[in-house]
Amino acid sequence: MNRLKGKNIIITGATSGIGKATAYQCAELGATLLLTGRREERLNSIQKELSNQFETNVEIFPFDIADYNACLAFVNSLSVDVDILINNAGLALGKDAVFELNKEEIDHVFNVNVHGLLSLTRLISPRMKKRNKGHIINIGSAAGHEAYAGGSVYCATKHAVKAITESTKKDLHGTNIRVSMISPGMVETDFSNVRFRGNAEKASSVYKGFQPLIADDIAEIILFVANRPEHVNIMDTIIYPVSQSSPTMVHRNE
């Protein structure tokens, strides 16, 4: 059953990876999309492709989610009710040990992964609360359930997303607003290329010797969670490729 047709869905970080894949799958089901991202050219291209392929309305909003004033301007510009907020935007930078971290990179990762997610949740949730209706879906990570060496910053932000998700559900206790989190393991997207600062060889080595997840795999899970009946709230899902058993356990064929 398609319960998403005609729903107004915000997807942050929609220019690539999981966000982009989710946009395409939502468009296929006839949802109205409000797509955000920093790269305006990519948003324009995605808007054109989706409008040509599907019977859907797509609006784009190029801005940096780490900028609270930009988030505020975006929310104030909305003329429609938001049915689903998918807080997808996120990144990692490096796998440096805690004693080698770069202060600017620490701030950037926290500003996007935590502050940006909190900003939009803070700004959208009162509107949902007023309607007593809506769904907030946060994209977490297996790294939010188990930390690993070289992941002090990224793991901390995804542990924060887990805490924010659980607290938000409790803050909205007694309402009909649903709150969920999706926690992927290893997904082959631009993620590792960004993490390793454009080192394509290092990024591709992350996925060698096994079949990783792809963005569409996670998008399918997001849609499954969003498409449940309104009395059903899936709080979290942890999704691994079959070759992965934890953030650090991956079976590779040499």
Q: Report the percentage of the chain scoring pLDDT > 70.
A: 100
Alpha-carbon span 180 to 166, nearest angstrom: 8
For the chain, the maximum distance between any two Cα atoms, rounded to a whole number of angstroms, is 56
Give the CA distances from residue 41 to residues 15, 28, 113, 116, 172, in Å, rounded to whole numbers and listed in that order.
Answer: 9, 22, 23, 21, 37
Q: 165: closest CA among 227, 69, 86?
A: 86
pLDDT 10s digits, 95-116: 999 999 999 999 999 999 999 9
Quick: pLDDT tens for 114-152: 999 999 999 999 999 999 999 999 999 999 999 999 999
The Cα–Cα gap between 119 and 121 comes to 5
Confidence grade of residue 216 (pLDDT, cut at 50, 70, 90):
very high
User: For residue 197, what pLDDT band results from cuts at 50, 70 and 90?
Assistant: confident
Extract the runs of DSSP E, i.e. beta strands, from 67-203: 84-87, 134-139, 177-184
Q: What pLDDT score was predicted for residue 52?
A: 94
Sign of CA dihedral 177, 231, 24, 33: negative
Q: Is residue 20 annotated as part of the catalytic site, yes or no?
A: no
CA distances for 170 relative to 136, 173, 175, 201, angstroms = 13, 5, 10, 43
- pLDDT level of residue 222 (50, 70, 90 thresholds): very high
For the domain bounded by 8-249, which CATH number is listed? Answer: 3.40.50.720
List the catalytic residue out of 7, 20, 24, 154: 154
Q: Which of 7, 20, 158, 169 is catalytic?
A: 158
Tell me: pLDDT of 193 over 90: no
Percent of the chain having pLDDT more than 90? 93
Active site residue 158: yes
Instruction: Copy the structure tokens of residue 140.
Output: 């977490």
How confident is the model over 12-58, as pLDDT tens digits? Answer: 999 999 999 999 999 999 999 999 999 999 999 999 999 999 999 99
- pLDDT (0 to 100) of residue 32: 97
- pLDDT of 254 over the 80 cut: no
Q: 54 and 32 in contact (C-beta within 8 Å)?
A: no
Q: Could you tell me the pLDDT band of residue 204, with boundaries at 50, 70 and 90? A: confident
